[in-house]
Amino acid sequence: MTNTTRRDELTRSGQESTSSPPVPGQRWRVVAARRTDTERLLSRLRTGVALTAGRLATTTSKRLRLGSGGIIGGRVAMALRPDLLDRLVADRRIVVVTGTNGKTTTTHMVAQALRAGGDSVSNATGANMLDGHVAALMSEPDAPYAALEVDELHLAQLTDRFQPSVILLLNLSRDQLDRVGEIRSVEASLRRALRQAPAAKVVANADDPNIVSAAIDHPHVTWVSGGCRWKHDALNCPRCGAFLGELEGDWECACGLRRPVADWTVDSNGLIAPDGGVERLSLPLPGQVNRVNATFALAASTELDLPRSESLERIQRLRDASGRYGHTTMAGREVRLLLAKNPASWLEMLDLVAENERPLIFVVNSRQADGHDVSWLWDIEFERLAGRTVLVTGERALDLAVRLRYAEVNCETASSVQQALHSAIIEHSAGPVEIIANYTAFRDLFAKRQQH
């Protein structure tokens, strides 16, 4: 066989000859082998089997009340088809939402906003890692839009697999230090994730120095400003460590990191869009934090060229997000369920309960999903509750009671939320009860509410 004939055969098979010198003027390229009809059929069958098995696992989990199925379904499907996520994201416009606080609520808002353009799917249960993303996407494989909540430390893993259309960066603060680690490591992980997604559009918090540091080098960033309530984790520059001082207004560090000019601005009256348009925000969900979340969601839909007025109208229909801020009845009393899992989110929830004199119940656990370390209780400004009586329960009720006593807040412990609701303090009061619970405590209360 001549060298020319051998080279021709190698070219047709997608390989390149290394033993013979190239013919002058000849150009070589690797040609991917074409899959046969049989291979394509087998691939489709494997995908179908994986989807069927995953959906069956989800349905079984729900029927047996073992959980929402938001994780197990995706896990089973990925075990059978490891590249299933890559297939499920094809031809979709996907918005991913990450940050320490507000991910679930904002993801619900984004999913609502995206429906201005067509069907939208989301991981509404909060299962925010790859198996949860697969479970959500396979539930509606034909939906052209998706809103995916993503754990901060898993965003880099996700952008290594595919490029989202839009990435929302909400905030960074201390949370589960025994699992997540220090904020600087999370900021570095977010920065790496964005480097892997240069074509994505990023919507980021202009008031949070940690988020600014993570996003400032990306080529396509839209900045949102809604104020910085929790400042204790952002007082030092994430790039050089220098003290930043006051974070209100246009903060700046000597190393060059500075607060960018906001494209979207939101306050207690409404929001100002990049084109100067003013929109009123009339949200069923309370607080400045949700006005900011809504602005992020509206900014995401705008980046996808969806009609702003319709997107906003859809966002403003949302009344609760996986039970957050929801009203229900427990032990014969009307209660409002509030989630607070770290000092920053407790600050926001204390703002809400400070607006009324309703009875208060606090529930704190320290399971794996919460983080076993509860030293963060000492960073919360419970002193604001001086003069009110709080009932505390949960696995770390005594830790919380000690903190409240040092804050000179009257408190009593109860063995359960039900016992707390039957206490003399609450039974002799009128009106709804406010319950603030951290992650697993809230999850358990929400599950009990669903069962009723």
Query: Residue ranges for the binding site?
Result: 237, 240, 253, 255
Task: Mark whether 373 is an active-site residue.
Answer: yes
Residue 110, SS3 per DSSP: helix
Task: Compute the half-sphere exposure of residue 428: CA atoms within 13 Å on the CB side of its CA.
Answer: 4
User: 173 with 103: CB under 8 angstroms?
Assistant: no
Q: Which residue in 237, 235, 263, 266 sits closest to 248, CA to CA?
A: 235
- The position carrying tokens 């992020």 is 296
- Reading the block at residue 309, the tokens are 């007025």
Q: Which residues contact 40 (CB under 8 A, 6 or more apart)?
A: none
Residue 167, SS3 per DSSP: strand
User: 209 with 247: CB under 8 angstroms?
Assistant: yes
Rounded to 5 degrees, φ, ψ at 145 are -125, 150
Residue 201, SS3 per DSSP: strand
Q: Which residue in 116, 441, 132 sits closest to 302, CA to CA?
A: 116
For the packed helices 130-139 and 72-80, what is the interaxial angle rounded to 10 degrees? 90
Buried b (16+ CB within 10 A) or exposed e, 58-72: beebeeeeebbbbbb
- Cite the annotated binding site for Zn(2+) by residue number: 237, 240, 253, 255
Question: What are all long-range contacts of 160-163, with beta carbons under 8 Å and residues at least 24 apart?
Answer: 160/196, 161/85, 161/86, 161/89, 161/130, 162/85, 162/86, 162/89, 162/94, 163/197, 163/199, 163/200
Q: Which of 86, 275, 373, 399 is catalytic?
A: 373
Buried b (16+ CB within 10 A) or exposed e, 81-94: beebbebbbeebbb
Q: Which residues contact 400 (CB under 8 A, 6 or more apart)?
A: 362, 364, 374, 377, 392, 394, 411
Q: Which residues contact 63 (CB under 8 A, 6 or more apart)?
A: none
Max distance between CA atoms of the chain, in angstroms, equals 100
From residue 193, give the alpha-carbon distance in Å to each of 96, 147, 188, 232, 302. Answer: 12, 18, 9, 25, 23
Catalytic residues: 373
